[in-house]
Structure 1
Amino acid sequence: MNSCRMILTIFVLKTAIAMSVFAADPVLEQSAPQDFEFIANCDQTRQRYVMILPEAFSNQEPHSVLIALHGHGSDRWQFIKDKRGECQAARDIAQKYHMIYISPDYRARTSWMGPKAEADLIQIINDLKSNYKIKHVFLCGGSMGGSSSLTFAALHPELIAGVAAMNPTANHLEYDKFQTAIQTSFGGTKQEIPHEYKKRSAEYWPEKLTMPLSISVGGQDQLVPPDSARRLSKVLKQLNDNVLLIDRPQQGHATSYEDSVSILEFVIQRTSQKKN
């Protein structure tokens, strides 16, 4: 009986170590996706994100982070497993630049970067910075994830070095899709809390988006129309030259692998030039 208890204790300890958010071993091989759970500071609920470490990772060396935000109806696994262009490009870029790759639920499946999703992402970034040597934090996402990337960067420009948004909206006051989910996320309707919708609309805060920023849109996109993202890009280009808009007039609600790579490469290269 004592032997059985000892085996069980060892198993529990090993499991706890495997589920630890931050690795203790200073040098690791390229990791498989690791699914982590944490307790959200804002409401004490259990939340999750997936992390992939770069090849020959060492927690004694500085690394940048690429955080990928999933679309409406998906969860943290979209940017880990999906073969669509936006997702594959994000994984490939993270590997190319030896980045720590993070894909959070951020209150999946219908986040839209409301207050709780915002708090979760701040917590993840701060925890990463506390436990690793972080150079830059980059943010990307598609559709809802692209919109949420713009929202978070406008709210917390001090935390983000560069943003690549695929098929986003930049104006929640005018956006009229997925309103039930957005109302739940934001805490009310546009009529009830217009200030919250404006606060989370990047188009109203171009002066905060001083980091390198790139956006891809499709002219035939009916799900997340491109007009607000186009307007934001135009204003930002008047303020600085660290902005790239890839506008495909015949494209719908998707960004190709090649265009996704281009907008990610843009923010990484411009950030490197900016810091040098």
Structure 2
Amino acid sequence: MLLRSLEGLGASFIKMGDYEKALPLYQEVAYLDKARYGSDSIPYAWSLRILNDIYWKLKSPKLAMHCFERSVWNFRNANYQRLVPVWEERMKAAKTQFASSPSELEKLIADRIFGTLGKIPDINFLNPGLYTGITDYSVHTANATSESEGSTDDGLANQLPWSRKRVAVLEPASTMWADPREEIKGIVVCVPGFGLHRRSFADLGESLASKGFIVASYDVRGFGAYTALKARDRIDLEKSLEDLDDSIIQLRKDFKGVPVFILGESMGGSIALQFCAHHPELVEGLIAAVPSEQRYRQWLTASKVLVGLITGSRKPIDVGPVVVSRATQKKDLRETWTSDPSSRFTATARELYGFKRFVSRNHSLARQVKDTPVLMFQGVHDLLIRPEGTISLFKAVACEDKDLMLIGKSEHLVFEEGQFDKNLLVSICDWMRNHSDEARVNNKEGANSKE
């Protein structure tokens, strides 16, 4: 129970804003996660990501960046380890070999996952007993082997003195797709809609990768992998904007000269739109599907939220029946959503109020999108988001380089859960290629003017 208790207490201090008290707890959590799962593991990376938050709050930017960069490497390595066997099997089944050897294939995949990011040195300032005072973890426990994974650099894995049922987060912060057969044409950063998670873009990720795009899909705080992370399990769209900022800066650093596009759907479309208003220099274009805040039958949840705010209730409100039933009439898609353990359709009144406040800024921030090209989508048969809301939001976008596509047969989802068709895929690929060429020309002209 030790690690679980440390994590729970540390998360409580973070939620209270007491980062000084949270620091030694999460330093020890990170140390123990490294010992149990290995220095290259996902649980260790998540602990480092939380330490990154704490160090920023305590005004220690160098320590924060070290934790962040190491966590990025671990998460990317998890994607690399996932993709290598997939493409080894595809290469065996292919009639024509696209790599001369397994090592060449591994390099092609590494180039598309890591870019120029070399292996970040491990954190050297974590020590045992920073909170508990326990410094000897040499007691062997036979039942520790069931959860051990990853490298065991310090030899402590499987020798830890606790027996507990802790939900370790074994999913990375992002899921990436890349095709080693294709030249890199650009990077697409995907942001999922309310209730969904990064893997809801799996079909789109595979399809875009086959066209030469590297795709990185990120969970929003409070959804996907975050639901099992005590310090980040609350729905927080503001912090998600900051996460995107950090992640895209790192992508641009590791893939210099490669155009970056951000694609978001529904809630993710709102996040992507607001990101472009704040950080136009970080992306070459915005693709937003149904990003409007204008919903049908908003009163169905508004009254519950109001009561919850008045009473201070922390009881979760289940918006799943409303969201899922309005988003699609397809029985199989409804079942996929409701049975997916990574989906989340419950939220407290405070979280739903925060969500409402966030998306209510869409129109004012759309007027600040002046230089980023925009491609916006709306399903005509969407029963969740009002088409006139998306049209109004589109008109508010200040950039003259903007296009709106109304999809006649589409419901709420346009891109997630494989709801796009071949023609739509071709359209967004052509749009990104055109704007990649424009970005390269503009960058070249800018460089010449500086000379």
TM value normalised by structure 1: 0.66
Equivalent pair of 2:374/2:399 in contact (CA under 8 Å)? no
Partner SS for 2:173: strand
The equivalent residue for 2:405 is 246
Q: Does 1:100 align with 2:222?
A: no
- Please, which of 222, 227, 244 is the counterpart of residue 383 of structure 2? 222
Distance (Å, rounded) in 2 between the aligned partners of 1:216 and 1:182: 30
Cα distance change, pair 123–175 in 1 and its aligned pair in 2 (3 A): farther
Q: Does 1:262 align with 2:427?
A: yes
- For structure 1, the 5+ residue unaligned runs are 1-8, 35-45, 81-87
Q: Deviations over 1:47-87 (max 9, x none)?
A: 71122344169xxx98632111122212121112xxxxxxx
The equivalent residue for 1:51 is 176
Cα distance change, pair 232–67 in 1 and its aligned pair in 2 (3 A): same
Q: Does 1:20 align with 2:142?
A: no
Q: Which has the higher contact order (CA 8 A, sep 6+)?
A: 1
Cα distance change, pair 48–63 in 1 and its aligned pair in 2 (3 A): same
- Please, which of 256, 268, 285 is the counterpart of residue 162 of structure 1? 285
Q: Deviations over 1:90-146 (max 9, x none)?
A: 43223313x332111121428987111111111111222333325221011222222
Q: Does 1:73 align with 2:195?
A: yes
Once the two structures are TM-superposed, the CA of residue 260 in structure 1 deviates from its matched residue by: 4.4
Distance (Å, rounded) in 2 between the aligned partners of 1:174 and 1:156: 31
Cα distance change, pair 223–50 in 1 and its aligned pair in 2 (3 A): same
Q: Deviations over 1:178-229 (max 9, x none)?
A: 7765975587486xxx5x5544x14543342422211111223121222222
The equivalent residue for 2:272 is 149
Q: Does 1:140 align with 2:299?
A: no
What one-letter code is carried by the residue in structure 1 that aligns with 2:413? A
Equivalent pair of 1:73/1:108 in contact (CA under 8 Å)? no
What one-letter code is carried by the residue in structure 2 that aligns with 1:275? R
Q: Deviations over 1:231-260 (max 9, x none)?
A: 232344x851x2121113554213332224
What one-letter code is carried by the residue in structure 2 that aligns with 1:208? V
Q: Does 1:121 align with 2:286?
A: no
Equivalent pair of 1:112/1:147 in contact (CA under 8 Å)? no
Structure with higher Rg: it is 2
Compare the two structures and name the one with the higher helix fraction: 2
Distance (Å, rounded) in 2 between the aligned partners of 1:209 and 1:133: 24
Cα RMSD (Å) of the superposition?
4.2
Distance (Å, rounded) in 2 between the aligned partners of 1:189 and 1:149: 14
Cα distance change, pair 214–271 in 1 and its aligned pair in 2 (3 A): same
What one-letter code is carried by the residue in structure 1 that aligns with 2:281? E
What one-letter code is carried by the residue in structure 1 that aligns with 2:74? S
Identity of aligned residues (%): 22
